[in-house]
Amino acid sequence: MPQDTLIAVEHLTRYYGAHCAVSDLSFTVQRGEILGFLGPNGAGKTTTMQMLCGVLAPSNGRVTIAGHDLALDPRGAKQHIGYLPEHPPLYYDLTVDQYLNFCAQLRRVPSAERAAAVARSKHRCGLEEAGGRLIGNLSKGFHQRIGVAQAIIHAPAVVILDEPTVGLDPSQIVEIRGLIRELGDVYSVILSTHILSEAQTVCSRVLIIDEGKLILDEPLAGLRDADQEQVFVIALRHPPPLAALQAVAGVAEVHAIDAQRFRITGRAGSDSAVALSESAAAQGWGLYELAPSAGTLEEIYLQLTRGEPPAPDAHP
């Protein structure tokens, strides 16, 4: 796989009036990478993606797509981008085939290859049966898939997906994630999500942004290796004082989530979970839940944003 840089972002800044939505963001994306964009609502994810696609003009900074400067050579740069906004940009009064044909024309797919491009894109997104149907009559899951089909129709070098799995049922989510992984083999993919487990299963690298600032840029593999401690959550009916929990063998850190729930960090190599359940039984703390924490990414996310955790796997 050639290691060439498909997206280079330098000092990207965007103001809405006096409000700074994105501040001095710099990163690069290589071919074959799947970059996850994480952050609480209002962190500037969508704004950043819109600037990468040329939908919004940055107040400051530079975006280079496959060697073309987006501001100086927008046509050349946009040729290499496929974009799925948060709400799929569909014309409800067209049929799926009409719409995809129009998108292929907009993206300058040569007319000789257009039919093949539409067919390939429909096949990839499972839309073969829906070709003749009116988009307005199809379900939300179909809309999302048509949105993805539209973004990949011209085989772009970079595919940018804004929350691509929102509103899909679980089996469709698995399909779309598989599709994203497939795309990641050939193209660069940037996707934003508020579902941490999704970033963890799909992405090869994550960026966490908060209040418009980049606070983490790390390959996921590195994050997994770094994690040697065990983290889990326990719930007790009659919780003792924090100091008593802290005193249990192998417990490194205790953090009270609410009156009955605690996040426990155990020392590497210790059996803190066993020790805790034994003490709970012996001293009548009423242990009714003990679960491993959702994972590294969530820990890091919480640490960095110091906010409410997003639902680990909350699908609407």
Partner 1 sequence: MMVFTIAGTELRRMFQTVLAWAVLAVVQFLLAIFFFMLLWKFLEPGTAAAARGLTDIVVTGTLQIAGIVLLLVSPLLTMRLFSEEQRSGTMQLLSSAPISLTEIVLGKYLGVLGFLLCMLGMIALMPLSLLAGTALDMGQLGAGLLALGLLMAAFAAVGLFVSTLTDQPALAAIGGFAALFILWIIHIAAYSGGEAVAAVFSYLSLLRHFDGLLDGYFSSVDVVYFILLIASFLALSVWRLDARRTYH
User: Which stretches of the chain bind partner 1, using CB under 8 A?
Assistant: 16, 50, 53-57, 74-76, 78-79, 81, 83, 85-91, 93-94, 98, 102-103, 105-108, 150
Per DSSP, the three-state class of 270 is: coil
Residue type, 87: H
Closer CB to partner 1, 108 or 123, in the complex: 108
Closest approach of partner 1 to the CB of residue 159, in Å: 12
- In the chain, which ranges are continuous DSSP H helix? 45-53, 74-78, 96-106, 111-124, 140-152, 170-186, 196-202, 220-226, 242-246, 272-283, 296-305
Closer CB to partner 1, 85 or 312, in the complex: 85
Closer CB to partner 1, 93 or 128, in the complex: 93
Closest approach of partner 1 to the CB of residue 150, in Å: 7
Closer CB to partner 1, 57 or 268, in the complex: 57
Structure tokens at 35: 């970059």
Closer CB to partner 1, 101 or 279, in the complex: 101
Structure tokens at 304: 């960095």
Closest approach of partner 1 to the CB of residue 106, in Å: 4
Closer CB to partner 1, 87 or 238, in the complex: 87
Q: Helix, strand, coil: what percent of the chain each, to 5?
A: 35, 30, 35
Give the H or E element holding residue 79. none
Closest approach of partner 1 to the CB of residue 44, in Å: 15
Closer CB to partner 1, 82 or 266, in the complex: 82
Find, among 160, 157, 188, 164, the residue nearest to 29 by Cα. 188
How does DSSP assign 181-201, residue by residue?
Answer: HHHHHHSEEEEE-S-HHHHHH
Closest approach of partner 1 to the CB of residue 69, in Å: 14
Spatial separation of the C-alpha atoms in residues 68 and 78, rounded to whole Å: 9
* C-alpha distance from residue 114 to each of 60, 102, 108, 274 (Å): 37, 10, 9, 62
Closest approach of partner 1 to the CB of residue 40, in Å: 22
Closest approach of partner 1 to the CB of residue 85, in Å: 5
**How many CB atoms are located within 10 Å of the residue 82 CB?**
26
Phi, psi of 78 (to 5 degrees): -70, -25
Max Cα distance, the chain (Å): 77
Closest approach of partner 1 to the CB of residue 136, in Å: 10
Closer CB to partner 1, 98 or 277, in the complex: 98
